[in-house]
Structure 1
Amino acid sequence: MKNYLFSGPFAKHIKDHIQLKQAVGYKYEAEAKHLVRFSTFTAEKYPEASILSKEIVLEWCSKRNYEAQANQCARSSILRQLAMYMERIEIGAYIIPKGYYPAAQQYGPHIYTEGELQRFFHQTDQCCFVSECPYRHLTMPVFFRMVYACGLRSSEARLLKVEDVDVEAGILSIYHSKKDNSRLVAMSDDLTGRCRNYSENMHRLSKGSDWFFPGLNGKPMTVGNIYHNFRRFLWRAGISHGGRGKGPRVHDFRHTYACHCLRKWVMEGKNISAYLPVLKAYMGHNSFEETAYYLRLTADIFPDISIRLEGCYPDIIPRLEGNGDATY
């Protein structure tokens, strides 16, 4: 665990709670930073508190004027987990009921059409050299194709190192991804060739520990850099965007990969029950439910296969509900 500085009356419990979460496989880094702020809040306002009272919980969870509903729900969820831990070790704590605050409107993943993908990737190929981002014209065409063609989370591609990309065998080594999972991901011949050409231009003198998609000052490409380029490519490709938080999102390339993969298998007459575990392993899902979610999404997006899917697999297609913004 990073050396976070907790303060206030619950500092030890917060630290122990985070250590337990990380011990069972959760990264729990964003949550830990949030709990640092909570500990500072309690140190300033409730320094003598002996229990995590309802007053403390509700004051901390009250909605800020500047924040979105989803942020309030996330803050209350983090504090709810802490309260549940404290109750288990017999420290008095108010556990805010699940769903106490109204959930934000659910986001429906944008499944890119074949035409949208072609136009988007064409725009990445038009990316020009600029001195402020000297690697942009080399990285963007490969980065976004890799996210879609391998069904990766953006962070998985962004944090690849040179030694993680086998440009001869066409294999990506993904380490310490969501819930600290690791896996091998095979690339298509076309993507492998692009990565090989990219490496020859970009990493002729690089060490294995260097970032495959480098940013400035020896750091990986930033989330902000990816997002700003993504928005520009969308606009130039004629794909409308509803504004921040309304999509399409970079993560929707991962959703699109899963749906396109399932549709292809159905059209080819594959046994989906046998192929779902393959997709689960390839995408790094922790549970079968995460993968089965895409069966319903695929059926809804592609009505031409809906009847075939529901007729053959009625027991494994879940209803699309309760998935929030679907970050599988």
Structure 2
Amino acid sequence: HLELTKEISDKWADRRHNEAELTIYGKVKTVKQLAEYLRDQGIKTYVPQLPKYPGCTFIPYIYSHEEMNAIFRACDRLKMRCRNVYSCLLIMPCLLRLLYGTGIRIGEALSLKNKDVNISGRCLTLIDTKNGKDRLVPMSDSLTAVCQDYLEHRDKLPVNELNRENGPFLVSLNGGVCNYAAVHRWFRMVLEIAGIPFTGNRKGPRIHDIRNTFACHSFLKLSDEGVDLYCSWPYLSIYLGHQSLESTEHYIRLTSQLYPELLRETDGLYVDILPDIPPKK
């Protein structure tokens, strides 16, 4: 049988280009678990020492309310520079408002099918999401109106069967699925028009930071209503599709750091956490 040696273990854990400390930690942890299993089976093996947990040093970018409004204005001003049937320009005003108005992940938004968007019921159905869960996500009246406006424009495209149940809700100009890379390119343009500097090198601002912003702005809105953040914590955790409360706690800490006044203790429960979505101009 093959022996797991120190040489093999160290080679597996070697840092590759641009790998973060947390990634290295995860690799060593994985090989350590394998080694312990082999040892328990009576197989001679080298068990590596787990390095000190590096923690997560990445701090997400939280857009201000003014920046979000600037983003919405910017995406409404986008124009095509050349004819491209694969362009995702059409979806940008709806997509960015959808991300901010619901806090769903960009992958969840781009995976939405027509049958998943219930305009009359004002909710989204997310199937088999990141943590293997299905969930319903309510939409505010203003966001529902944005989705309805998008559909009216989308359905004017000269494409057959745009309304089929299993067809994509957010489409390119030829009716195809929009991919993240194409959306990211348009988002970079949105940031430029909005006057928000793009740092890059994993420091953003990123599209995913709109989800982080949704969580922080929701906590801020709850606090303004006089609600104890820890009372609403489990509700927002379920709403965001988190696997555990610890994942949502990160947002509470982040929001409290950005807005120290949120640390005050209050009572009650306020479930209307959806921020209003400015209409498309």
Q: 1:124 aligns with which of 75, 80, 85?
A: 75
More deviation in 140-149 or 52-61?
52-61
Cα offsets for 1:44-102 (capped at 9, x unmatched): xxxxx6133221121132123x33335545544554555555556665554544336x8
Residue 275 of structure 1 aligns with which residue?
232
Cα offsets for 1:246-304 (capped at 9, x unmatched): 11111111111111111111111124343222211111111111222222111111123
| 8 A Cα contact 1:69 1:103, kept in partner | no
Cα offsets for 1:119-171 (capped at 9, x unmatched): 11111111224422555332011111111110111111111111111122111
More deviation in 110-119 or 196-205?
196-205
SS of residue paired to 1:173: strand
More deviation in 144-153 or 218-227?
218-227
| 8 A Cα contact 2:137 2:239, kept in partner | yes
Identity between Structure 1 and Structure 2 (%):
32
- Aligned-residue offset at 1:180: 0.5
- Give the letter for the 1:172 counterpart: L
Residue 126 of structure 2 aligns with which residue?
174
| 8 A Cα contact 2:100 2:211, kept in partner | yes
| Cα separation, partners in 2 of 1:163 and 1:274, compared to 1, 3 Å | same
- Aligned-residue offset at 1:116: 0.6
| 8 A Cα contact 1:125 1:137, kept in partner | no
Q: What is the CA–CA distance in structure 1 between the aligned matches of 2:69 and 2:103, rounded to whole Å?
A: 17
Is 1:165–2:123 an aligned residue pair? no
Residue 228 of structure 1 aligns with which residue?
185
Is 1:139–2:83 an aligned residue pair? no
User: TM-score if structure 1 supplies the norm length?
Assistant: 0.70
Give the paired residue count: 260
Residue 50 of structure 2 aligns with which residue?
98
| 8 A Cα contact 1:151 1:283, kept in partner | yes
Cα offsets for 1:297-317 (capped at 9, x unmatched): 1111112333x15xx69xxxx
Q: 1:265 aligns with which of 222, 244, 247?
A: 222
Cα offsets for 1:190-243 (capped at 9, x unmatched): 111111121222247321111112348875311211221221211221111221
RMSD, aligned CA: 2.7
| Cα separation, partners in 2 of 1:168 and 1:134, compared to 1, 3 Å | farther
More deviation in 138-147 or 209-218?
209-218
Residue 58 of structure 2 aligns with which residue?
107
- Give the letter for the 2:166 counterpart: S
More deviation in 71-80 or 277-286?
71-80
| 8 A Cα contact 1:61 1:76, kept in partner | yes
The structure, 1 or 2, with the larger RCO (C-alpha pairs under 8 Å, 6+ apart) is: 2
Q: 2:18 aligns with which of 56, 61, 67?
A: 67
Ranges in structure 2 where 5+ consecutive residues have no aligned partner:
268-281
Ranges in structure 1 where 5+ consecutive residues have no aligned partner:
1-48, 314-328
